[in-house]
Structure 1
Amino acid sequence: MKLVVVSAGLGVPSSTRLLADRLAAAVDRRTPAGIQVVELRDLAVQIAHAFTNGFPGGALAAAQDAVAGADGLIVVTPVFSASYSGLFKSFFDVLDKDALVGKPVLIAATGGTARHSLVLEHALRPLFAHLRAVVVPTGVYAASEDWGEQGLAGRIERAAGELAALLAGPSATGADTPGRFEVVPFEEQLAALGEKTVEPGAGLPL
Protein backbone atom coordinates (compact mmCIF):
# COMPACT_ATOMS: atom_id res chain seq x y z
CA MET A 1 0.00 0.00 0.00
CA LYS A 2 1.48 3.34 -1.08
CA LEU A 3 0.25 6.66 0.29
CA VAL A 4 1.63 9.87 -1.24
CA VAL A 5 1.33 13.16 0.64
CA VAL A 6 1.51 16.38 -1.41
CA SER A 7 2.35 19.42 0.70
CA ALA A 8 2.39 22.93 -0.75
CA GLY A 9 3.67 24.65 2.38
CA LEU A 10 6.27 27.35 1.83
CA GLY A 11 7.78 27.84 5.28
CA VAL A 12 10.20 25.72 7.29
CA PRO A 13 8.64 24.61 9.56
CA SER A 14 5.24 24.76 7.92
CA SER A 15 1.77 24.39 9.41
CA THR A 16 0.74 22.90 6.06
CA ARG A 17 3.37 20.16 6.39
CA LEU A 18 2.39 19.64 10.03
CA LEU A 19 -1.22 19.03 9.06
CA ALA A 20 -0.10 16.72 6.25
CA ASP A 21 2.01 14.68 8.67
CA ARG A 22 -0.81 14.37 11.21
CA LEU A 23 -3.22 13.19 8.53
CA ALA A 24 -0.73 10.65 7.16
CA ALA A 25 -0.02 9.28 10.64
CA ALA A 26 -3.75 8.91 11.33
CA VAL A 27 -4.26 6.98 8.10
CA ASP A 28 -1.22 4.80 8.75
CA ARG A 29 -2.56 3.81 12.17
CA ARG A 30 -5.62 2.34 10.47
CA THR A 31 -4.11 0.97 7.27
CA PRO A 32 -0.31 0.64 7.42
CA ALA A 33 1.15 2.14 4.26
CA GLY A 34 4.43 3.20 2.76
CA ILE A 35 4.29 6.99 3.00
CA GLN A 36 6.09 9.32 0.60
CA VAL A 37 5.96 13.09 1.01
CA VAL A 38 6.21 15.40 -2.00
CA GLU A 39 7.26 18.92 -0.94
CA LEU A 40 6.19 21.24 -3.75
CA ARG A 41 8.39 24.03 -2.39
CA ASP A 42 11.42 22.04 -3.56
CA LEU A 43 9.94 21.56 -7.04
CA ALA A 44 8.83 25.13 -7.77
CA VAL A 45 11.55 25.90 -10.36
CA GLN A 46 11.09 22.60 -12.19
CA ILE A 47 7.32 23.10 -12.27
CA ALA A 48 7.81 26.52 -13.89
CA HIS A 49 10.22 25.03 -16.44
CA ALA A 50 7.73 22.27 -17.25
CA PHE A 51 5.22 24.94 -18.25
CA THR A 52 7.68 26.71 -20.54
CA ASN A 53 9.47 23.80 -22.18
CA GLY A 54 7.05 20.92 -21.69
CA PHE A 55 9.59 18.65 -19.99
CA PRO A 56 9.76 17.91 -16.25
CA GLY A 57 13.11 17.83 -14.49
CA GLY A 58 14.25 14.67 -12.76
CA ALA A 59 12.83 15.48 -9.33
CA LEU A 60 9.50 16.64 -10.76
CA ALA A 61 9.22 13.56 -12.97
CA ALA A 62 9.84 11.36 -9.92
CA ALA A 63 7.10 13.21 -8.01
CA GLN A 64 4.70 12.81 -10.92
CA ASP A 65 5.42 9.08 -11.07
CA ALA A 66 4.92 8.76 -7.31
CA VAL A 67 1.51 10.44 -7.46
CA ALA A 68 0.41 8.42 -10.49
CA GLY A 69 1.50 5.17 -8.83
CA ALA A 70 0.02 5.87 -5.40
CA ASP A 71 -2.89 3.91 -3.99
CA GLY A 72 -4.15 7.11 -2.36
CA LEU A 73 -3.25 10.76 -1.83
CA ILE A 74 -3.34 13.35 0.92
CA VAL A 75 -3.11 16.86 -0.54
CA VAL A 76 -2.63 19.95 1.62
CA THR A 77 -2.33 23.57 0.53
CA PRO A 78 -2.08 26.91 2.30
CA VAL A 79 -4.83 29.38 1.41
CA PHE A 80 -3.89 32.35 -0.76
CA SER A 81 -6.49 34.86 -1.99
CA ALA A 82 -9.30 32.61 -0.74
CA SER A 83 -8.17 29.63 -2.82
CA TYR A 84 -5.41 27.05 -3.15
CA SER A 85 -1.92 28.33 -3.80
CA GLY A 86 -0.61 28.84 -7.32
CA LEU A 87 2.18 26.34 -6.66
CA PHE A 88 -0.34 23.70 -5.59
CA LYS A 89 -2.49 24.19 -8.69
CA SER A 90 0.54 24.29 -10.99
CA PHE A 91 1.75 20.90 -9.82
CA PHE A 92 -1.57 19.27 -10.67
CA ASP A 93 -1.63 21.15 -13.98
CA VAL A 94 1.59 19.42 -15.09
CA LEU A 95 0.37 15.93 -14.14
CA ASP A 96 -0.92 13.59 -16.82
CA LYS A 97 -4.65 14.25 -17.22
CA ASP A 98 -5.51 10.65 -16.28
CA ALA A 99 -3.09 10.31 -13.34
CA LEU A 100 -5.76 10.66 -10.65
CA VAL A 101 -8.67 8.80 -12.25
CA GLY A 102 -10.38 6.71 -9.56
CA LYS A 103 -7.72 7.49 -6.97
CA PRO A 104 -8.82 8.16 -3.35
CA VAL A 105 -7.85 11.68 -2.25
CA LEU A 106 -8.10 13.41 1.12
CA ILE A 107 -8.16 17.20 0.74
CA ALA A 108 -6.91 19.61 3.40
CA ALA A 109 -5.87 23.23 3.77
CA THR A 110 -4.39 25.68 6.27
CA GLY A 111 -5.07 29.37 6.74
CA GLY A 112 -4.81 32.22 9.15
CA THR A 113 -8.54 32.50 9.78
CA ALA A 114 -11.54 30.20 9.91
CA ARG A 115 -13.29 32.44 7.37
CA HIS A 116 -11.48 30.61 4.56
CA SER A 117 -12.63 27.12 5.55
CA LEU A 118 -14.97 26.91 2.54
CA VAL A 119 -11.91 26.74 0.29
CA LEU A 120 -12.24 22.97 0.64
CA GLU A 121 -15.67 22.97 -0.98
CA HIS A 122 -15.45 25.78 -3.53
CA ALA A 123 -11.87 25.19 -4.73
CA LEU A 124 -10.25 21.87 -3.79
CA ARG A 125 -13.21 19.51 -4.13
CA PRO A 126 -14.18 20.78 -7.61
CA LEU A 127 -10.53 20.57 -8.74
CA PHE A 128 -10.17 16.91 -7.82
CA ALA A 129 -13.64 16.06 -9.08
CA HIS A 130 -12.54 17.50 -12.43
CA LEU A 131 -9.46 15.26 -12.30
CA ARG A 132 -11.85 12.32 -11.69
CA ALA A 133 -10.39 11.42 -8.32
CA VAL A 134 -12.51 9.95 -5.52
CA VAL A 135 -12.54 12.65 -2.83
CA VAL A 136 -13.34 11.49 0.71
CA PRO A 137 -16.40 13.16 2.26
CA THR A 138 -14.54 14.92 5.08
CA GLY A 139 -12.03 17.64 4.21
CA VAL A 140 -9.82 19.12 6.91
CA TYR A 141 -9.20 22.85 7.33
CA ALA A 142 -6.91 24.15 10.06
CA ALA A 143 -6.93 27.86 10.95
CA SER A 144 -4.29 29.30 13.25
CA GLU A 145 -6.59 29.07 16.27
CA ASP A 146 -7.44 25.40 15.57
CA TRP A 147 -4.08 23.97 16.58
CA GLY A 148 -4.41 22.19 19.90
CA GLU A 149 -8.21 22.16 19.70
CA GLN A 150 -10.09 18.89 20.03
CA GLY A 151 -12.24 19.75 17.01
CA LEU A 152 -9.27 19.60 14.66
CA ALA A 153 -8.16 16.25 16.05
CA GLY A 154 -11.65 14.86 15.52
CA ARG A 155 -11.77 16.03 11.89
CA ILE A 156 -8.34 14.53 11.24
CA GLU A 157 -9.43 11.17 12.65
CA ARG A 158 -12.71 11.14 10.74
CA ALA A 159 -11.10 12.04 7.40
CA ALA A 160 -8.27 9.55 7.96
CA GLY A 161 -10.80 6.81 8.65
CA GLU A 162 -12.62 7.54 5.41
CA LEU A 163 -9.42 7.44 3.35
CA ALA A 164 -8.20 4.28 5.10
CA ALA A 165 -11.51 2.55 4.29
CA LEU A 166 -11.11 3.38 0.60
CA LEU A 167 -7.50 2.22 0.61
CA ALA A 168 -8.45 -1.06 2.26
CA GLY A 169 -11.03 -1.83 -0.43
CA PRO A 170 -14.79 -2.47 -0.58
CA SER A 171 -14.78 -5.12 2.17
CA ALA A 172 -13.61 -2.53 4.71
CA THR A 173 -16.55 -0.22 4.00
CA GLY A 174 -19.07 -2.78 5.22
CA ALA A 175 -20.90 -2.95 1.87
CA ASP A 176 -21.53 -6.67 2.45
CA THR A 177 -22.70 -6.15 6.02
CA PRO A 178 -26.48 -6.06 6.70
CA GLY A 179 -27.64 -2.58 7.60
CA ARG A 180 -24.82 -0.83 5.72
CA PHE A 181 -25.26 1.20 2.55
CA GLU A 182 -23.72 0.06 -0.70
CA VAL A 183 -22.58 2.65 -3.24
CA VAL A 184 -24.17 1.90 -6.62
CA PRO A 185 -22.71 3.68 -9.67
CA PHE A 186 -25.07 6.20 -11.22
CA GLU A 187 -25.06 4.37 -14.57
CA GLU A 188 -26.39 1.21 -12.87
CA GLN A 189 -29.08 3.17 -11.04
CA LEU A 190 -30.17 4.78 -14.31
CA ALA A 191 -30.30 1.42 -16.09
CA ALA A 192 -32.40 -0.04 -13.27
CA LEU A 193 -34.86 2.85 -13.52
CA GLY A 194 -35.17 2.28 -17.25
CA GLU A 195 -36.33 -1.27 -16.62
CA LYS A 196 -39.25 -0.14 -14.43
CA THR A 197 -42.64 1.03 -15.63
CA VAL A 198 -43.92 3.96 -13.66
CA GLU A 199 -47.46 5.23 -14.11
CA PRO A 200 -47.80 9.01 -14.59
CA GLY A 201 -47.98 10.81 -11.28
CA ALA A 202 -47.10 7.73 -9.24
CA GLY A 203 -44.91 8.46 -6.22
CA LEU A 204 -45.08 12.23 -6.60
CA PRO A 205 -45.58 14.32 -3.46
CA LEU A 206 -49.08 15.73 -2.91
Structure 2
Amino acid sequence: MKLLGLSGTIIGAKTGIVVRKVLDDVKKKYPDIEVEMLDMMDYNLEFCDGRPPEKYSADTRTVIEKVSSADFYVIGTPIFQGSIPGALKNLFDLIHPDAFRNKVMGFVANGGTYQHFLVIENQLKPIAGYFRAFVAPSYVYANFDHFNRENEIVDEDLLKRISYLADEVVHMQKSLKGSTAKVTD
Protein backbone atom coordinates (compact mmCIF):
# COMPACT_ATOMS: atom_id res chain seq x y z
CA MET A 1 0.00 0.00 0.00
CA LYS A 2 1.22 3.44 -0.91
CA LEU A 3 0.52 6.50 1.24
CA LEU A 4 1.01 9.81 -0.53
CA GLY A 5 1.61 12.89 1.57
CA LEU A 6 0.67 16.03 -0.27
CA SER A 7 1.67 19.57 0.65
CA GLY A 8 -0.85 21.59 -1.35
CA THR A 9 0.88 24.95 -1.44
CA ILE A 10 3.63 26.68 -3.37
CA ILE A 11 4.66 28.99 -0.52
CA GLY A 12 5.66 28.54 3.11
CA ALA A 13 7.16 25.68 5.07
CA LYS A 14 4.74 24.76 7.86
CA THR A 15 2.30 22.71 5.76
CA GLY A 16 5.06 20.48 4.44
CA ILE A 17 6.58 20.14 7.89
CA VAL A 18 3.33 18.84 9.39
CA VAL A 19 2.60 16.49 6.49
CA ARG A 20 6.15 15.10 6.64
CA LYS A 21 5.76 14.56 10.39
CA VAL A 22 2.65 12.43 9.78
CA LEU A 23 4.52 10.46 7.11
CA ASP A 24 7.53 9.99 9.41
CA ASP A 25 5.20 8.63 12.08
CA VAL A 26 3.70 6.17 9.58
CA LYS A 27 7.17 5.06 8.42
CA LYS A 28 8.28 4.47 11.99
CA LYS A 29 5.20 2.52 13.09
CA TYR A 30 4.25 0.77 9.83
CA PRO A 31 7.35 -0.20 7.82
CA ASP A 32 5.17 -2.23 5.45
CA ILE A 33 3.56 0.97 4.13
CA GLU A 34 5.25 2.67 1.17
CA VAL A 35 5.37 6.40 1.86
CA GLU A 36 5.95 9.20 -0.63
CA MET A 37 5.87 12.98 -0.24
CA LEU A 38 4.58 15.25 -3.00
CA ASP A 39 5.37 18.88 -2.32
CA MET A 40 3.67 21.25 -4.74
CA MET A 41 6.67 23.59 -4.44
CA ASP A 42 8.74 21.03 -6.33
CA TYR A 43 6.53 21.10 -9.44
CA ASN A 44 5.39 23.66 -11.98
CA LEU A 45 1.78 22.65 -12.53
CA GLU A 46 -0.24 24.03 -15.40
CA PHE A 47 -3.76 25.27 -14.83
CA CYS A 48 -6.48 22.75 -15.43
CA ASP A 49 -8.27 23.63 -18.66
CA GLY A 50 -9.91 20.38 -19.69
CA ARG A 51 -7.10 18.98 -21.83
CA PRO A 52 -6.47 15.24 -21.68
CA PRO A 53 -3.66 14.45 -19.19
CA GLU A 54 -1.18 13.55 -21.95
CA LYS A 55 -1.42 17.13 -23.31
CA TYR A 56 -0.05 18.71 -20.11
CA SER A 57 3.60 19.38 -19.26
CA ALA A 58 5.85 16.69 -17.83
CA ASP A 59 5.56 18.13 -14.29
CA THR A 60 1.78 18.19 -14.47
CA ARG A 61 1.61 14.63 -15.83
CA THR A 62 4.00 13.44 -13.12
CA VAL A 63 1.83 14.93 -10.38
CA ILE A 64 -1.36 13.50 -11.90
CA GLU A 65 0.26 10.05 -12.01
CA LYS A 66 1.62 10.21 -8.45
CA VAL A 67 -1.74 11.26 -7.04
CA SER A 68 -3.75 8.83 -9.14
CA SER A 69 -1.58 5.83 -8.31
CA ALA A 70 -1.54 6.27 -4.51
CA ASP A 71 -3.70 4.04 -2.34
CA PHE A 72 -4.41 6.64 0.34
CA TYR A 73 -3.48 10.20 1.29
CA VAL A 74 -2.49 12.74 3.89
CA ILE A 75 -3.37 16.06 2.28
CA GLY A 76 -2.01 19.25 3.78
CA THR A 77 -2.97 22.84 3.12
CA PRO A 78 -2.40 26.26 4.55
CA ILE A 79 -5.49 28.37 5.04
CA PHE A 80 -5.37 31.68 3.19
CA GLN A 81 -8.23 34.18 3.50
CA GLY A 82 -10.45 31.48 5.02
CA SER A 83 -9.94 29.03 2.15
CA ILE A 84 -7.58 26.53 0.56
CA PRO A 85 -4.95 27.91 -1.84
CA GLY A 86 -5.55 27.90 -5.59
CA ALA A 87 -2.63 25.49 -6.10
CA LEU A 88 -4.46 22.76 -4.17
CA LYS A 89 -7.80 23.47 -5.86
CA ASN A 90 -6.06 23.31 -9.25
CA LEU A 91 -4.56 19.95 -8.30
CA PHE A 92 -8.00 18.60 -7.37
CA ASP A 93 -9.28 19.86 -10.73
CA LEU A 94 -6.49 18.05 -12.62
CA ILE A 95 -7.21 14.65 -11.06
CA HIS A 96 -10.00 12.49 -12.44
CA PRO A 97 -12.60 11.98 -9.68
CA ASP A 98 -12.36 8.20 -9.96
CA ALA A 99 -8.71 8.37 -8.84
CA PHE A 100 -9.84 9.19 -5.26
CA ARG A 101 -12.87 6.90 -5.16
CA ASN A 102 -12.92 4.50 -2.19
CA LYS A 103 -9.55 5.74 -0.92
CA VAL A 104 -8.80 7.16 2.52
CA MET A 105 -7.95 10.85 2.95
CA GLY A 106 -6.52 12.37 6.10
CA PHE A 107 -6.28 16.15 6.35
CA VAL A 108 -3.67 18.48 7.78
CA ALA A 109 -4.03 22.26 7.76
CA ASN A 110 -2.29 25.25 9.22
CA GLY A 111 -3.33 28.85 9.58
CA GLY A 112 -3.01 32.08 11.46
CA THR A 113 -6.05 31.74 13.70
CA TYR A 114 -7.64 28.90 15.60
CA GLN A 115 -10.91 29.33 13.69
CA HIS A 116 -9.33 28.42 10.35
CA PHE A 117 -9.65 24.73 11.24
CA LEU A 118 -13.24 25.07 10.01
CA VAL A 119 -11.96 25.08 6.42
CA ILE A 120 -11.31 21.35 6.82
CA GLU A 121 -14.94 20.81 7.81
CA ASN A 122 -16.50 23.22 5.32
CA GLN A 123 -14.29 22.80 2.25
CA LEU A 124 -12.00 19.76 2.33
CA LYS A 125 -14.48 17.21 3.64
CA PRO A 126 -17.12 18.16 1.03
CA ILE A 127 -14.49 17.89 -1.73
CA ALA A 128 -13.59 14.43 -0.47
CA GLY A 129 -17.28 13.55 -0.40
CA TYR A 130 -17.61 14.57 -4.04
CA PHE A 131 -14.72 12.25 -4.86
CA ARG A 132 -16.40 9.44 -2.87
CA ALA A 133 -13.29 9.15 -0.70
CA PHE A 134 -13.29 7.93 2.89
CA VAL A 135 -12.28 10.70 5.28
CA ALA A 136 -10.40 10.06 8.50
CA PRO A 137 -12.63 11.36 11.32
CA SER A 138 -9.81 13.25 12.98
CA TYR A 139 -7.49 15.76 11.38
CA VAL A 140 -4.57 17.94 12.37
CA TYR A 141 -4.74 21.70 12.52
CA ALA A 142 -1.60 23.65 13.37
CA ASN A 143 -1.29 27.28 14.32
CA PHE A 144 1.73 29.59 14.29
CA ASP A 145 2.04 29.06 18.07
CA HIS A 146 2.73 25.33 17.58
CA PHE A 147 6.14 26.04 15.99
CA ASN A 148 9.34 27.62 17.23
CA ARG A 149 11.36 30.15 15.22
CA GLU A 150 13.13 27.36 13.35
CA ASN A 151 9.74 25.97 12.22
CA GLU A 152 10.06 22.93 14.47
CA ILE A 153 6.88 21.59 16.02
CA VAL A 154 7.05 22.28 19.75
CA ASP A 155 3.45 21.67 20.84
CA GLU A 156 3.07 18.26 22.51
CA ASP A 157 -0.67 18.10 21.86
CA LEU A 158 -0.08 18.71 18.15
CA LEU A 159 2.47 15.89 18.08
CA LYS A 160 -0.09 13.57 19.71
CA ARG A 161 -2.72 14.53 17.12
CA ILE A 162 -0.20 13.90 14.33
CA SER A 163 0.53 10.44 15.71
CA TYR A 164 -3.17 9.70 16.08
CA LEU A 165 -3.89 10.75 12.47
CA ALA A 166 -1.05 8.53 11.24
CA ASP A 167 -2.57 5.55 13.05
CA GLU A 168 -6.08 6.38 11.90
CA VAL A 169 -5.38 6.63 8.16
CA VAL A 170 -3.37 3.40 8.20
CA HIS A 171 -6.04 1.58 10.21
CA MET A 172 -8.78 2.77 7.86
CA GLN A 173 -6.83 1.86 4.74
CA LYS A 174 -5.88 -1.59 6.02
CA SER A 175 -9.50 -2.22 7.04
CA LEU A 176 -10.76 -1.18 3.62
CA LYS A 177 -8.10 -3.16 1.79
CA GLY A 178 -9.06 -6.25 3.74
CA SER A 179 -12.76 -5.75 3.06
CA THR A 180 -14.38 -7.86 0.35
CA ALA A 181 -17.22 -5.36 -0.09
CA LYS A 182 -16.97 -2.94 -2.99
CA VAL A 183 -18.45 0.48 -2.39
CA THR A 184 -20.44 1.86 -5.31
CA ASP A 185 -22.85 4.73 -5.89
| TM-score range normalised by the length of the shorter chain | 0.7 to 0.9
Q: Number of residue pairs matched? A: 173
TM-score (norm. length: structure 2): 0.83
Q: Distance in 2 between matches of 1:42 and 1:120?
A: 24
Counterpart residue identity of residue 146, structure 1: H
Pairwise mapping of residues 75-90 of structure 1 onto structure 2 (< 5 A)?
75-90=75-90
Answering whether residue 35 of structure 2 is matched by residue 29 of structure 1, we say no
Note the alpha carbon deviations across 1:59-93, whole angstroms, 9 max, x for none. Answer: 22122111111111111011111011111011011
Rg larger for:
1
Amino acid at match of 1:72: F
Cα gap change, 1:102/1:18 in structure 2, threshold over 3 Å: closer, same or farther?
A: same
Q: Taking CA–CA contacts closer than 8 Å with sequence separation of 6 or more, which of the two structures ends up with the larger relative contact order?
A: 2
Structure 1 position 138, deviation (Å): 0.6
**How far apart, in 1, do the equivalents of 2:115 and 2:175 lie?**
35
Contact 1:47/1:91 (CA < 8 Å) preserved in 2? Answer: no
Residues 95-104 or 54-63, more deviating: 54-63
* Structure 1, 32-41 or 101-110: larger mean CA deviation: 32-41
In structure 2, the partner of 1:154 is: 160
Task: State the Cα deviation string for residues 134-173 of structure 1 (Å, max 9, x = none).
Answer: 110111110101231111111111111111112323598x
Q: Are 2:22 and 1:16 equivalent residues in the alignment?
A: no
Structure 2, unmatched stretches of 5+, are 148-153
Match of 2:169 in 1: 163
Are the counterparts in 2 of residues 78 and 84 from structure 1 also a CA contact under 8 Å? yes
Structure 1 residues without counterparts, runs of 5 or longer: 176-184, 188-206
Q: Is the 8 A contact 2:9 2:39 kept in 1?
A: yes
Root-mean-square deviation over aligned CA pairs: 2.4
Q: Deviations over 1:21-45 (max 9, x none)?
A: 001111222322222222223334x
TM-score, normalising length from structure 1?
0.75
**Alignment partner, residue 113 of structure 2:** 113
Q: Which residue number in structure 1 is paired with residue 49 of structure 2?
A: 51
